[in-house]
């Protein structure tokens, strides 16, 4: 049973009592609004402290939720209770593409609110319930979402793997998923300018040293265009530390 809980479900306080949503005898997952808050916040932040803050806040439910509960949560970047993701990101489809990539990289089940994959816009409810834009779909977004669906299907590390973060500079961040065999890295550059990633600027969070070292070696000196991303798969030895 999936619950529509808008906050951290491990710390939900309502009607003068804490709700035991994550105890195992209630819900099996929730609509993961902290994921949306993280993604929108990361893509709209304007300084390092804010971006690192959003990583820290997302790390809380990752740490507090039981593993099965976390993996059952419905991750979203938009629902019937929020403004459309394209509207939230000032109609910038390149940023929307990055938002979808971040959602598919995070633990949980990607959940797409109809029309977001086609570039549908809309403000608060009921404006976010517009008709599907038949004949006006964004084929670029549809293509990117289809790509991510296939990537997730073909890489079990995106389903069951652990998670870590990389902060490089304002607007340049990465999600890292890893298990005993593989590492997947999705690094985004939300800025307009092209950049070259340099290992001396890498700050890793929630990652074992062995994984961080492999990611650093893989990404160092990678050229990353403005409002673009890079997705890398790295083979990892079975003897993890």
Say if residue 24 is in the same domain as residue 135: yes
The domain boundary residue, chosen from 154, 184, 214: 154
Residues 174 and 118 in one domain: no
When pLDDT is averaged across residues 132-136 and rounded to a whole number, the result is 97
Strands, E, within 77-218: which ranges? 109-110, 162-169, 172-178, 182-189, 195-196, 203-205
- What's the average model confidence in pLDDT over 119-133? 97
> What percentage of the chain has pLDDT greater than the value 90?
86
Q: Indicate whether 240 belongs to any domain.
A: no
Residue 241 lies in a domain: no
- Which tokens in the block code for residue 9? 């479900």
pLDDT of residue 26: 83
pLDDT of residue 204: 98
Tallying the residues shown for the chain, one arrives at 241
Residue 238 pLDDT: 56
Q: What does the pLDDT look like over 34-47, one tens digit per residue?
A: 999 999 999 999 99
In this predicted model, which residue has the larger pLDDT, 98 or 6? Answer: 98
User: What proportion of the chain, given as a percentage, has pLDDT over 70?
Assistant: 98
- Over the stretch 190-220, which tens digit does the pLDDT of each residue have? 999 999 999 999 999 999 999 999 999 999 9
CATH number at residue 28: 3.20.20.80
- Please confirm whether the linkage preceding 126 is cis (ω < 30° from 0): yes
Q: Residues 180-191: what's their mean pLDDT?
A: 97
Domain containing residue 24: 2-154
Whether 106 and 214 map to the same domain: the answer is no
- Of 104, 126, 154, the last residue of a domain is 154
Beta strands per DSSP E along 73-206: 74-75, 109-110, 162-169, 172-178, 182-189, 195-196, 203-205
Extract the tokens encoding 206: 């929630």
Number of domains in the chain: 2
Same domain, 44 and 143: yes
Please tell me what DSSP assigns to residue 229: E
> Mean of the per-residue pLDDT values for the chain?
94
Specify whether 122 is located in the same domain as 50: yes
CATH number at residue 195: 2.60.40
Single residue among 154, 176, 203 that ends a domain in this structure: 154
Give the three-class secondary structure for 33.
helix
């Amino acid at each position: 049973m999936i619950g529509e809980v808008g906050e951290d479900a491990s710390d939900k306080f309502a009607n003068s009592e804490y709700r035991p949503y994550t105890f195992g005898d209630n819900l099996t997952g929730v609509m993961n609004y902290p994921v949306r808050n993280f993604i929108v916040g990361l893509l709209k932040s304007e300084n390092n402290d804010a971006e690192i803050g959003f990583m820290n806040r997302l790390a809380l439910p990752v740490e507090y939720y039981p593993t099965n509960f976390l993996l059952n949560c419905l991750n979203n970047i938009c629902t019937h209770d929020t403004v459309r993701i394209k509207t939230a990101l000032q109609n910038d489809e390149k940023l929307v593409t990055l938002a979808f990539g971040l959602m598919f990289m995070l633990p949980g089940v990607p959940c797409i609110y109809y029309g977001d994959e086609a570039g549908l816009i809309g403000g608060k409810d009921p404006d976010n319930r517009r008709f599907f834009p038949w004949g006006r779909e964004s084929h670029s977004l549809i293509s990117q979402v289809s790509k991510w669906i296939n990537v997730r299907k073909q890489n079990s590390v995106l389903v069951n793997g652990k998670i870590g973060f990389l902060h490089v500079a304002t607007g340049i961040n990465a999600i890292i998923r890893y298990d005993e065999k593989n590492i997947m890295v999705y690094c985004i550059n939300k800025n307009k300018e092209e950049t070259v990633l340099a290992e001396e600027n890498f700050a890793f969070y929630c990652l074992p040293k062995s994984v961080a070292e492999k990611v650093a070696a893989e990404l160092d000196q990678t050229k990353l265009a403005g409002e673009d991303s890079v997705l890398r798969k790295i083979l990892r030895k079975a003897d993890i530390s």
